[in-house]
Structure 1
Amino acid sequence: MQRQSHVVRAVEESKERTESDVQNSDNVKEPELIDQQPSESTAELTELGAEIKKALEQRKEKADDNLLSGVAEEIGEIEWPAFGKVLGTTGVVLGVIAGSSVALLTLNAVLAELSDKVFAGKGIQDFFG
């Protein structure tokens, strides 16, 4: 979050400088403005790059120092469901699993009996021989 604020601030400062350059360009001759633009934009980019590098270094230092406190803070921000809702949802899931298991095992047993009656005493060699 702090990195974003540095980048946003750098962009805003860049916009302010650009606006002031546009206002001052009315008094400047066209060839002089063309000669000044590359050096000014290079200086702005260098300054912006320095601010971004500084923000990244601060973020890295902060991440190393406060990893566990950051994890604890994020856990605190989680909206945990009520215990009754968790218990009810768990019951529904376990019920669906149990019901599906009974249905599939029953279907498997029926098909196994049917298979034994239809193909009793026949092996795979009997079908191709």
Structure 2
Amino acid sequence: MMMIETELRQSPIHGIGVFLLEPVKEGQLIWRFDSRIDRVYSQAELGSLPPLMQRYLRIYSTWHEGLQLWVLCGDNGRHFNHSDTPNTISDGVGFGDDVAARDLPAGIELTTDYTTICDAMRSNGMTFEHPGLSAKQPHLLDA
């Protein structure tokens, strides 16, 4: 769940992005997993859903290898775009926490490094030819 005020806007990186409506200090909590709004799915549970639902969840969820779960953000958090120099950090902070990597002004787009949050991308050697876009997306197609 987003812990700060944000809104969705057209992104110069890719499609829709998450933009700050307030300034944020370095280390400030931006997003934390909250089961009241966010959801996790086992591979078996995802596999039991209709194909259209499976496709949606594979696009908007991230695969957590350690927990063997798909994690779906229930709010604007699912629209973070990729950056090789992200302004949020999730790796090493703990499951379900994203914090500001530096002081951020209101109006800036929040970004994350997909290779630190998505085990499928990291394990498949995912590379990005353009910020926010991947050259291949096996995590979307794997059954």
TM-score bracket relative to the smaller structure: under 0.3
Structure number with the higher strand fraction is: 2
Give the alignment's TM-score, normalised by structure 2: 0.20
Select the structure of larger CA radius of gyration.
1
Structure number with the higher helix fraction is 1
Taking CA–CA contacts closer than 8 Å with sequence separation of 6 or more, which of the two structures ends up with the larger relative contact order? 1
